[in-house]
Structure 1
Amino acid sequence: MSFAPGPFPTWLLPFVQIFSLAFLAFYVFRAATVRKAALYGFIFGLANFALGFYWLYISMHEYGGMAAWLAGAAVLLLAAVEAVFIVLAATVARWISARHLQVNCSFGWQLLIAAVWASCWTLAEWLRGTLFTGFPWLNVGYAHVEGVLASWAPLLGVYGLVWFASFASAAIALLACAKDTTNDARAAVGVGCAIVVGLLGIALGHIDWSKAQGDPIIVRLVQGNVPQSEKFDPELMQQGLATYMRLAALPPKEADASPDLIVLPETVVPLFQDRVAPQVWQQWLDIARERDARILMGAPLFDRRDGQERYTNSAISFDATTPLAALIAGIPDMRYDKQHLVPFGEFVPTGFRWFVESMHIPLGDFDRGRVRQALFPIKGQMISPNICYEDVFGEEIIQSVRDSEVWGPGATLLVNMSNLGWFGDSWALRQHLQISRMRSLETARPMIRATNTGMTAAIDAKGNIRGVLSPMTKGVLDVEVQGTTGLTPYVRWGNAPVLAWTFLVLVLGLLMRRREPAAQMAPANL
């Protein structure tokens, strides 16, 4: 419940996350055996992910047509698989720290135990976000988009926030486990260190990691709220397209605030481009001419390269001067092909064809694009599109922010184009907005989001929301956006510093485990 506002307000989410994880750490530290610690980790993880991912049931059952029992079982199975990583963190932390949890240990040992817990958790989160293409949704760092730890994101990224938050949780748990006055004082040192990190975070918030690039541009973000049940229905498809055309063509609210760029969501054109009637593409060109703006939209593309057929989930950009034949052929002025595909939704993992075929989800097997591709130069800005949950992977987003010898300068503005209509009015929409805010914090780049049902929003280079449309509504958000340049430490170095520190702490923890505790105490309440 700490990964998106509702029912808790945003300012409370960091505290909910830290104290929830402290609850688990307390029981793991007091577990009589490593096996019991593993059990606690599994129960915690299963509950966390089953609740946090409940919206997957909506996509599989309500829109995918999967039987209710199979959709529910799939959510529980995914939660169980994800919980294995929590089991790993809890088990390793308990095993390394076991001999020193039951003694009146020094300040240093107390800090090292908390650091071992933080390192185990960080490594588990990194593995969860990397193995089998990765699924880092509900990474504990996303609870800290606001709060005292948020300003550490430009330095260490989301996994740095994971480490600090996990350390604070372990410090609180060790304080709760303390059994006498001396141990209370020593355990409190860890809590004090966590407070110092938070205070440093407040100071870091005053640092500007980027500077303005060029002139601001006015962007129109379009949210059509086309129900997922209608989006791919052949009889209603044209109605959905007409909705987006009408919204895109709306006159500006002020005469001098005409949009330079109109951004529409992922797969706003729900057919491969060569199956769309030429007059439909001509209508889009007419809108670009009427508004004197460049259009950026999501569309599935089909083309042939080197004699091979390719199907991609893409973002394309064009203006009134783009030839109609180029749009029909799938070779517009600017094109980005999604490179991090969603398992089961956009590609079929080996052995799971039967599972995918039990759902009726169109456009479910795409080819991957390159990790780094040509950016979109628009009105003096270098725009980097990403599609759907690609922005969950910060280590991939930073590739487009760095300069490239092949592809040229890095991005000054990030654009996310999503269709979360599969998940109804659920936590998924607000969770995804928090994730996009983290990417802005890490890169010091504004992020604009155009979605079908929500959350369509404009985020500045410090992760603040400058404008947002209510979910499940039709509308446009016209907003002035200032692109930025300059590289944060995280963009330069990625996850390497955090991972190196994590492994160093675990090595120290292993050495600690081999040392005899200084003073034995009879274990209590084990």
Structure 2
Amino acid sequence: MLKRFIPHFLLMLSGASLTLAFAPFNMWLLTIPALALAIRQVIKLKHRPFLAGWLFGAGWFGAGISWVHVSIADFGGLPLIGSIAIMALLCGYLALYPALATKFTAKYFSPQLWPMALPFFWVLAEWLRSWMLSGFPWLSLGYSQLDSPLSGFAPVIGETGISALIVISATLFALIHNKRTFANAVLVALCLFTSGYLLKQHTWVTPNKTYSVGMAQGNIEQSLRWVPEQDGPTMDTYWKLTESLWDNDLVIWPEAAVPKLEPLAQPYLAKVNERAFQENTALITGIVNYNWETDEAWNNLIVLGKRTPDARYPDYQYFHNNRFSKHHLLPVGEFVPFEDWLRPLAPLFDLPMSSFSRGDYQQANLEANGIHLAPAICFEIAFPHQVMANVYEDTDMIITVSNDAWFGHSHGPAQHLQIAQMRALELGRPVVRATNNGITAFIDHKGEVTARLPQFMAGNISAPVVATRGFTPYYHLQELGVWLITLVLLIAAVMIKRRQKK
């Protein structure tokens, strides 16, 4: 009797094992075999493809984003059973997307045509996952290949394109039943990995100026971040950490590093602004701005000190335009849907600073000491089109700031860094990433970490950053490349299906 449940167990196991393919484990070779095993079980459960895809997704997200439970359990104010229930609800929802992909593929195509049909439905499901309910494109398969030869495709067809290639290869391996199908699967995989390796040897953008950049990591406990009595000590921490960084072209502090509301932090900001100007540099910090007249709040990045190298006076003044307002807000963390109903239910739905207004989708680059930076705050870096919309011809680098203290000692921060690395590779721009407690890192335009600070310690770091000019093919094509590949395959599958019927 238990034998009938083996495919169900293998589906969840293969999904859960994908966690090892992503950071911090980086076992990228595991992705295709794990997905192939799952697809093979979906074929075995041919009358229940939706359930099969859902079980795979439940394992995939249940293990892969288990770090969400840390933030709910530690800071959400819910009993254990409540946090587990919310985590199960989230994973169950995310598992619907691979379930939809397998359901539609199985409905319209026989398994022999899945290598051509499944990639289209998979990409379609992942596209839906990236914008439904504000979107949560975490753990997309392509991120697992950052260290593999397939990463060479990132500047051409993006992370989503790599996901499609993985699905093609995994489906071919899932259908192996004789020497010919084995040879076909191996041949396609070799072609993909060889092509990726060759693409990886090419530099799509041109290195430009080199800038020295310093970043401070305050390591402020999450439970203390919005305690008014801790405002002074937190600001003192960042002031002291920056003392050895003033000789850089640019200094960066993390998301909301200044814990006071911007209107109330004017004396401190004036002090930092003047010091940065005197040191012939600029400083970018995260801060929350609040408009008392309209009751609107924004999660901002602001520039202090010099806007241009030849500036005659400090750049900052309250509400100046050299700032960035976060557009893609985090549900529950930065806005609460149905807040009149949800906020009274539990502290999870009434966290400090959880009612922000959105900035524009496309905004001007920050300009700091002549350096042009395309900003992304926290999980905005997971949305390639939004980041891309803010990269211009004169953009020198991408800046992303975050506070990953919510996720404790989990694998969440490492996955977050991996996503930032993929954006650098896709767009051919270096990424500077400043965080409260890690992982603060410098990433070059090839997606490689060149320097980083250890997690869970207060410290600072300086490194040279090589700005780039030009654009990758992905910048111009965006998702056109992956849609073209998957649509051509789908049309071929439809034509073969019709021919088989005749």
Q: Which residue of 1 aligns with 2:239?
A: 245
* Separation in structure 1 between the aligned mates of residue 182 and residue 162 of structure 2, nearest angstrom: 22
Matches within 5 A, 1:311-460: 311-319=297-305, 321-322=313-314, 326=317, 329=318, 331-332=319-320, 334-350=322-338, 353-354=341-342, 358=346, 359=348, 360-402=350-392, 409-460=393-444
SS of equivalent residue, structure 1 residue 59? helix
1:268 alignment partner in structure 2: 257
Partner Cα separation in structure 2 for residue 269 and residue 293 of structure 1:
19
- Tell me which residue corresponds to 1:49: 61
> What amino acid is the match of 2:211?
I
Code of the aligned partner of 2:367: P
SS in 1 for 2:259: coil
Aligned to 1:292: 280
> 2:13 — aligned with what?
none
CA deviation after TM superposition for structure 1 residue 352, in Å = 7.4
- State the alpha-carbon separation in 2 of the partners of residues 149 and 517 from structure 1: 36
1:241 positional shift: 1.8
Q: Distance in 1 between matches of 2:140 and 2:61?
A: 11
Question: After superposition, where does 1:445-524 map in structure 2 within 5 Å?
Answer: 445-516=429-500
1:314 maps to a residue whose letter is: N
1:21 aligns with 2:35: yes
Q: CA deviation at 1:191?
A: 2.9
The structure 2 residue matched to 1:302, chosen from 290, 304, 307, is 290
Secondary structure of 2:390's counterpart equals: helix
Q: 1:211 to 1:77 in 2, by over 3 A?
A: same
> 1:47, 1:16 → 2: CA distance?
15
**1:174 & 1:268 partners in 2: Cα distance?**
52
- Cα deviation, residue 357, structure 1: 5.6
Q: In structure 2, which of residues 195, 204, 220 is the aligned counterpart of residue 200 of structure 1?
A: 195
Cα RMSD for the two superposed structures: 2.2
Contact 2:381 2:387 in 1 (8 A): yes
Aligned position for 1:4: 22
Stretch of structure 1 that moved more, 142-151 or 237-246: 237-246
Q: Contact 2:375–2:387 (CA<8 Å) still a contact in 1?
A: no
Look up the equivalent residue of 1:63 and give its one-letter code: F
Q: Give the Cα–Cα distance (whole angstroms) in 2 for the partners of residues 235 and 380 of structure 1.
A: 36
Number of residues paired by the alignment?
Answer: 476
What secondary structure sits across from 2:329 in the alignment?
coil
Cα deviation code 1:446-472 (max 9, x no counterpart)? 001000011100000000110011111
Q: CA deviation at 1:195?
A: 1.3
1:43-94 deviation per Cα after TM superposition (whole angstroms, max 9, x unaligned): 1111211211211122122123223222111111010000000101111222
Change (3 A) 1:352 1:510: farther
Kindly report which structure 2 residues correspond to 1:39-188, keeping only aligned pairs within 5 A, or say none. 39-98=51-110, 101=111, 110=112, 112-175=113-176, 178=177, 181=178, 184-188=179-183
SS in 2 for 1:299: strand
Aligned partners of 1:410, 1:134: CA distance in 2, in Å? 29
Question: Once the two structures are aligned, what percentage of the paired residues are identical?
Answer: 29
Q: How much has 1:31 moved relative to structure 2?
A: 2.4
1:355 Cα deviation from its structure 2 partner: 5.4
Gaps of 5+ in 1: 102-109, 253-257, 403-408, 519-526
Moved more, 200-209 or 373-382: 373-382
Q: Which residue in the other structure is 1:31 paired with? A: 45
- Matches of 2:315 and 2:400 in 1, distance apart? 26
- Secondary structure at the counterpart of residue 260 of structure 2: coil
Question: 1:217–1:379: 8 Å Cα contact kept in structure 2?
Answer: no
Distance 2:427 2:225 in 1: 34
Question: Per chain length, whose mean CA-contact separation is higher, i.e. which structure has more relative contact order (CA < 8 Å, sep 6+)?
Answer: 1
Deviation string 1:186-220 (CA, Å, 9 cap, x unpaired) is 3531331121011011111111111123x211100
Q: Is the 8 A contact 1:318 1:333 kept in 2?
A: no
User: Mind listing any 5+ residue stretches in structure 2 that lack a counterpart?
Assistant: 1-18, 307-312
Aligned-residue offset at 1:351: 6.4
CA distance in 1, matches of 2:60, 2:344: 25
The letter of the residue matching 1:67 is: P
- Counterpart of 1:498 in 2: which secondary structure? helix
Query: What TM-score, normalized to structure 1?
Result: 0.86
Partner letter of residue 474 of structure 2? Y
- 3-state SS of 1:318 partner: strand
Aligned equivalents of 1:332, 1:25: Cα separation in 2: 54
Identify the residue that residue 211 of structure 1 maps to in structure 2: 206
Q: Look up the equivalent residue of 1:231 and give its one-letter code.
A: R
